[in-house]
Structure 1
Amino acid sequence: MEWNKPLPQPTPLSQPYWDGLRQRRVRLQRCGDCEHWIFFPRAHCPSCGSHKLAWHDVSGEGTLYTWTAARVPTLPEFGDEMPQLLAVVELDEGPRMNTTLVGVQPEGLQTGLRVRPVFDERPGSVTLLRYTSADSTHPSVIEAGQRPEAGPVANEPAAPARRIDVKDLAGLQGLVSEAFSGWSSEVEVTQELIDRFAELSGDDYWIHTDPVKARAQSPFGTTIAHGALVQVLASRMRIPMDWEIVGYTNMVNYGSDRLRFPAPVTSGSRIHARSRVKAVQQVKSGVQLTLEIHTHIVGHDRPSVINDLVVLYM
């Protein structure tokens, strides 16, 4: 997995801490005079002023001191991690450190929760320290090419879909609703996928295909996907629907009544979609159903694509 996010820059003072993480060890400084544990790395003890500091391995375990779910990315590169679970962990030795949580759901978090370290090796040059709950099944190491696992989600069996005959116009019109479906499966919009679409479509404008120039000159700070690409990726998402239309001979995509791209999708983002039946009407050639599909970056409230897709059943 390509890493497109800022990385920490170790200093001579902090290098032993980062070297420890590369070895999958959490290391803290401890004062040789007053035995005070120290984090962040420093040249002298903040408790007694002594310079007799030494590095020691610790378990890295502790408790959740505080946390928040960030739903607006601080930088465009973090758009694929929304909602980002920002946290402060209090280590068993006493120091507190800022981190992010993986393998948990916001609903299951509370202050005082026991947590354990997760070594995130995906950046390659620097290993990052994240945390998960002590009883989580999330692995202790996220290796290059992997994503952090989501927290546990209840796996309830899906109810059988309602079958509505295409000739039952009243039944079909009963599907019209202001409420949207649940979220679909997720699709990752990688730079490779964007590049392939650019080659296929002929739209190789630098805002899509040149990460270096986009980082320097684009208002988004990175490359973005073509709106048309995000639109067609809806075909790869499984949107949960509790209904099924039967009894027709052919079904065709008749076009779109409305197509908008309200928000960009930055490279590396994960997207998902939901839908609602907006309208149903009898036409000369059959029944026309308008399905309003909203595609979002995961964790973002504003949709990236709004498509009123018209499907003709004949």
Structure 2
Amino acid sequence: MAWNKPLPHPTEISRPFWEGLQAHEVRIQQCDHGHWIFFPRTHCPKCGSRQLAWKAVSGNGRLYTYTVARIPTLPEFTDEMPQLLAVVELDEGVHLNTTLVGTTPEALQVGMPVRPVFDERPGTVTLLRFAPADSDHAPVIRAEGEAGQDAAPAATEPPAAPKRQISVKNLDAMKSLVSDEFSPWSNEFAVTQQVIDEFARLSGDDYWIHTDAEMAKAKSPFGTTIAQGSLVQVLSSQLKIPLDFEVVGFNNMVNYGSDKLRFPTPVPSGCKIRARSRIKSVEQVKSGVQMVMELNIHVVGQDRPSVINELVILYM
């Protein structure tokens, strides 16, 4: 997936720090009097010495302070909600602004031990994040699709439980599917700029807010390009919702349209989406049994859906 978030621009002074991260090392400066220094400078702020050397350190430290951002600090971070913004104090005493991974807001405690995590996903630079010292989070976040010895082992999926078979001829059983509770989440799908551009080419919906990244950054209220609402709706076919039932006993199943279709929140380019559903109603109609399934598509990390589609399904 193309990286759509802001990136640092190394300077001549800070370049050794970023080069260290690419080598999976945390490097900070130390003066000839033994003082550790961060952020990178040309002199020691404690003694004024200009005799500075870059040295590799463990990167271990403790959580000095943190905040949980439940509204994106920039639109591009919508898929990281909630953002765990933190200041880490390294064992050497310097403070680094960072973000936390491999944990939840409820588990955070000031003073907890943390360790470095090297995020390679941007491609052009490696970012430094931190995880709790006892977390099983991988020490390196690889670019999507890449494997490596530092990557966390893939979880073995348990065999899927057999689905309940509900006969369309049993109206009471069909009505028992109606619920206020949503299903588990589907798989995730990355809505990249390439996907948005391809949809624009096919549909003709190439308005600049979808396809012109520079103009969107300058003029859009979202600060970045966003996916077409129709595209996000269509992508529901890419999202496999793990339903625990299967309707059987019908001759034909028809997508009869939607009772309601809304696009409450945008999907910024580069975000991942996922879906869940619930059965809203079941009724006998002249041509068969009509089911209304409410399908909600969310940006990963967002509570408010990006698409609400009350899909009408007719079983005949």
Q: Which runs of 5+ in 2 are unaligned?
A: none
Superposed CA offset, 1:195-226 (max 9, x none)? 11112212222221222222222222111111
Does residue 62 of structure 2 align to residue 60 of structure 1?
Answer: no
Cα displacement (A) at 1:125: 3.3
Paired letter, 2:4? N
Q: Is the 8 A contact 2:21 2:127 kept in 1?
A: yes
Match of 2:249 in 1: 247
**How many residues of Structure 1 are paired with residues of Structure 2 in the alignment?**
313
Does residue 195 of structure 2 align to residue 196 of structure 1?
Answer: no
Match of 1:30 in 2: 30
Cα displacement (A) at 1:144: 4.5
**Alpha-carbon distance in 1 for matches of 2:199, 2:303:** 26
> CA, structure 1 residues 25+150, in 2 after alignment: closer, same or farther (shift >3 Å)?
closer
Larger mean CA deviation between 112-121 and 229-238 belongs to 112-121
> CA, structure 1 residues 291+150, in 2 after alignment: closer, same or farther (shift >3 Å)?
farther
Q: Is the 8 A contact 1:104 1:151 kept in 2?
A: no
Superposed CA offset, 1:140-178 (max 9, x none)? 334445599899999776554332211111121122122
Match of 2:235 in 1: 233
Does residue 26 of structure 2 align to residue 19 of structure 1?
Answer: no
User: SS where residue 5 of structure 2 aligns?
Assistant: coil
Match of 1:260 in 2: 262
- The 5 A counterparts of 1:139-154 are 139-145=138-144
Match of 1:127 in 2: 126
Q: Is the 8 A contact 1:64 1:113 kept in 2?
A: yes
Match of 1:286 in 2: 288
Cα displacement (A) at 1:266: 1.0
> CA, structure 1 residues 45+14, in 2 after alignment: closer, same or farther (shift >3 Å)?
same
User: SS where residue 224 of structure 1 aligns?
Assistant: coil
Across the aligned residues of Structure 1 and Structure 2, the Cα RMSD in angstroms comes to 2.8
Q: Is the 8 A contact 1:291 1:311 kept in 2?
A: yes
**Alpha-carbon distance in 1 for matches of 2:24, 2:226:** 34
Cα displacement (A) at 1:138: 4.3
Q: Which runs of 5+ in 1 are unaligned?
A: none
Cα displacement (A) at 1:267: 0.7
Q: Is the 8 A contact 1:105 1:152 kept in 2?
A: no
User: SS where residue 77 of structure 1 aligns?
Assistant: helix
Q: Quick one: percent identity of the two aligned structures?
A: 65
> CA, structure 1 residues 137+115, in 2 after alignment: closer, same or farther (shift >3 Å)?
same
Q: Is the 8 A contact 1:102 1:151 kept in 2?
A: no
Larger mean CA deviation between 160-169 and 105-114 belongs to 105-114
User: SS where residue 223 of structure 1 aligns?
Assistant: coil
> CA, structure 1 residues 313+150, in 2 after alignment: closer, same or farther (shift >3 Å)?
farther
TM-score by length of 2: 0.88
